[in-house]
Amino acid sequence: MMCAMLIAYLTVGYPTPEAFLEAAKRIGPYVSAYEIGFPPRFAKYDGPVIRRSYMSIKGSLDEHMALASSVNGTKFALTYYEDIRERPEAFISKAASSGFAGCLFPDAVIDYHLEAEKVFSMVNDAGLKNAIFVSPSVPDALISKVSRWADAFLYLGVRPTTGVPVPVSVEALVKRIKKLYSGPLIVGFGLKDEEIKDAIGAGADGIAVGTAIIKALEAGPEKAEEEVKRIARIAGN
Amino acid sequence: MVNFPPEKWYNVVPDLPAPLPPPMDPPDAESSSIELLNQIMPREVLRHQFTVERWISIPDEIRDAYAQVGRPTPLLRAKRFEEAIGTKARIYFKYEGATPTGSHKINAAIPQAYFALKEGVTGLSTETGAGQWGAAVALASSIFGISSTVFMVRTSYEQKPLRRLLMEMYGAKVYPSPSEKTEPGRAALGRDKNARGSLGLAMSEAIEYALKNGLKYAVGSVLDVVLMYQSVIGLEAKAQLEAHGEVPDVLIGCVGGGSNFGGFVYPFIGSGIGKRYIAVGPTEIPKFSSGSYRYDYPDSAGILPLVKMLTLGREYAPPPIYAGGLRYHGVAPSLSLLVREGVVEAMEVSEEEAVRAGLLFARSQGIVPAAESAHAVAAVIRAARESAPGTVIAFNMSGHGLLELDVYRRSSA
Ligand SMILES: Cc1ncc(COP(=O)(O)O)c(C=O)c1O
């Protein structure tokens, strides 16, 4: 069997710049890529854990980009499109010059579907790839349309917010997307251990983990490493 | 071909013209109200709410119960009503009044009672305005042998003793809302000891009561999952119209929270049938014309997560129109989106116009429309006037008005 991809989420500079870098280094061997979150004004699709992490960090976007640039490996810059909508090219070019492979805007398709394709093309123009986020409430026709831009991967968030446990049938959700899109599919948002297997069994190419890492990281980078190792094992890596 | 009752529910979300904004936690909240739903609603109901698939299998036990309450309900042509209003359009209606509790509400109550029982819950709590939803929950609970507790808006509790009696006959415990039983109720009575109550407040009471007493809360409208459970109406109607050899041009339903409208109309939208879809609300509660499209709470105490919808604001106190089921501040998120995107037309008719239309329908067809459904009848008259001869209009008669004849008293004199 091919190895499942594991995408690890970290909030830039959280809980401290040092612990952030240390955690990134420790989990590096187990992950396919990092998503690094830059604090938005309001992280509306994030649960309390990630929201709290955003609120606790200080500093400017430039400082955050500089810090993130010293994380080695494939990494995607994540922020809310709502916040950069005035000048998306500023964020995108900073991401490009900080060594990111691509961008991920969790609200682009859900809240700005009419202009999403324009942003995706800007990302490509900057030499970056698009990781495109969709939720189950995105209609089929739109999933088909935007997923053509997903040259990194399509990211399906199976719950309304990160890290909040509501019951869903991961298998059914993944199968629906697989009918519409054949590229690499990453599944995330509050996955329980058994759901990681369900997702991969239903045809997902990998999983994304955020809240669990952030929670573990609050107890120290070595705890984050343990958690990522544990999850990588469940994912069959 | 659809078997009766249908084997699957239909969910419109994958077929919407734009993404449905997901439910959201309050921006400044420490805890998650989305997470709290786990304690409020039966697990399977939540799973249906969050697992977006176009078709969901209906368990056999639920199909049996649907059959027991008279599904499929009749689809009838309103020939004498056509004559009475002098139209060359052909008018059909789906008659949801032909269920024991007299409205479509039983379609969403049955699955919630069933899924509650399946997870070992001993009872459901809920709110009711006119008493239609409360009666449905009371009956569904009795079908599956669990208890039911209903918070009934005080205005209706006093105005509509027969519906209260019906709920009690099915074994429900019925409290007037605001009540002394819950925090939101006591707060409202503290502000005004003669408070008349509202659907939003009764909802908050029922939710808190469920949380405090280890029950589950049954949700009567607004949420996508309720509209999905109601899709049996439209799926049946679609097959029944086909059997008549008819393809409807105009589809109409009244809107309180949107459940009978969505249940009836969405299966047609999903299969591309129909040229006009008309959602009718009351002029007195102008959520279509004056509501804003934004995140707001479905319940007035703000216990449930925010949903993006057309809303007059959760604090809005609806005027005491007779159609209790339409006295609600918001519109289901999927329907709000369809109105915004121009797929569904919104119309508002006054109580007076609705009552006149309902009376005309009763005189010509014999069926007395519920005050809510009379709004749909009024819209049918307007649509028939604008339609070319041969137009096929289909509407949902969401309930009968036999327990609330009072509303027609003045006009029939
Ligand atoms: C007969 C009838 N029709 C319509 C409604 C309005 O609710 P909804 O818009 O959810 O169908 C109600 C609500 O109580 C009702 O009892």
ipTM value, please give it.
Answer: 0.89
Residue with tokens 């459901």: B124
Q: Which of A110-114, B30-34, B58-62 has the lowest mean pLDDT?
A: B30-34
The whole-number pLDDT of residue B412 equals 58
- pLDDT confidence of A200, banded at 50, 70, 90? very high
Report whether the peptide linkage leading into residue B17 is cis, meaning its omega lies within 30 degrees of zero: no
Number of H helices, E strands in chain A: 12, 8
Give start and end residues of each alpha helix (H) in A100-189. 108-111, 113-125, 140-147, 170-180
Q: Does A75 touch chain B (CB under 8 A)?
A: no
Note whether A164 contacts B30, CB cutoff 8 Å.
Answer: no
Tokens representing B116 are 């509650």
CATH class of B68-103+225-409: alpha beta
- pLDDT confidence of B411, banded at 50, 70, 90? low
Tokens representing A112 are 């700005």
Nearest ligand 1 atom to the CA of B373 is 3
The whole-number pLDDT of residue B28 equals 75
**Distance, in angstroms, between A136 CA and closest chain B CA?**
6
> Which residues on chain B are in Cβ contact (under 8 Å) with A110?
19, 21-22
> Across residues B100-122, what is the average pLDDT?
98
The whole-number pLDDT of residue A1 equals 45
| Pocket of ligand 1 contains residue B132 by CB under 6 Å | yes
> Across residues B367-396, what is the average pLDDT?
97
C-alpha distances (whole Å) from B15 to each of A138, B200, B337 are 9, 29, 12
Which of A137, A142, A192 best probes binding to B when mutated, by most B CB atoms within 10 angstroms?
A: A137
pLDDT in tens, B138-188: 999 999 999 999 999 998 899 889 999 999 999 999 999 999 999 999 999
Note whether B35 contacts A173, CB cutoff 8 Å.
Answer: no
Q: How many CB pairs under 8 A join A and B?
A: 93
Mean pLDDT score across all residues of chain B: 95
Contact A107, A132 (CB under 8 A): no
pLDDT in tens, A13-60: 999 999 999 999 999 999 999 999 999 998 888 888 999 999 999 999
B255, amino acid identity: V
Q: What percent of chain A has pLDDT over 90?
A: 90
Between B182 and B27, the more confident residue is B182
Taking alpha carbons only, the member of B262, B269, B208, B191 closest to residue B232 is B262
> Across residues B287-312, what is the average pLDDT?
94
Catalytic annotation present for A35: yes
The whole-number pLDDT of residue A197 equals 94
> Which residues on chain B are in Cβ contact (under 8 Å) with A136?
13, 50-52
| Pocket of ligand 1 contains residue B370 by CB under 6 Å | yes
pLDDT higher than 60, residue A2: no
- pLDDT confidence of B39, banded at 50, 70, 90? very high
Domain with CATH 3.40.50.1100 in chain B: 8-57+105-222, 68-103+225-409
Nearest ligand 1 atom to the CA of B128 is 14
Catalytic annotation present for A205: no
**DSSP state, residue B22:** P
The whole-number pLDDT of residue A176 equals 96
C-alpha distances (whole Å) from B335 to each of A83, B227, B253 are 28, 10, 12
The whole-number pLDDT of residue B362 equals 98
- The SS3 assignment for B52 reads coil
Query: Which residues are B124's β-sheet partners?
Result: B148, B216
| Pocket of ligand 1 contains residue B129 by CB under 6 Å | yes
- pLDDT confidence of B27, banded at 50, 70, 90? confident
For A165, counting Cβ atoms within 10 Å of its Cβ (0-12 exposed, 13-18 middle, 19+ buried), the class is middle
Contact B329, B314 (CB under 8 A): yes
Among B260, B321, B375, B407, residue to substitute to test ligand 1 (most atoms within 8 Å of Cβ): B260
- pLDDT confidence of B2, banded at 50, 70, 90? low
| Pocket of ligand 1 contains residue B248 by CB under 6 Å | no
Mean pLDDT score across all residues of chain A: 95
pLDDT in tens, B232-283: 999 999 999 999 999 999 999 999 999 999 999 999 999 999 999 999 999 9
Q: What percent of chain B has pLDDT over 70?
A: 99
Q: How far is the CA of B66 from the centre of ligand 1 (A)?
A: 18
CATH number attached to the domain at B8-57+105-222: 3.40.50.1100
CATH number (3.30.360.10, 3.40.50.10470, 3.20.20.70, 3.30.830.10) of A5-234 reads 3.20.20.70
The whole-number pLDDT of residue A75 equals 98
What are the φ and ψ backbone dihedral angles of B241, each rounded to 5 degrees?
-65, -40
Angle at B402 between CA B400 and CA B405, to 5 degrees: 115
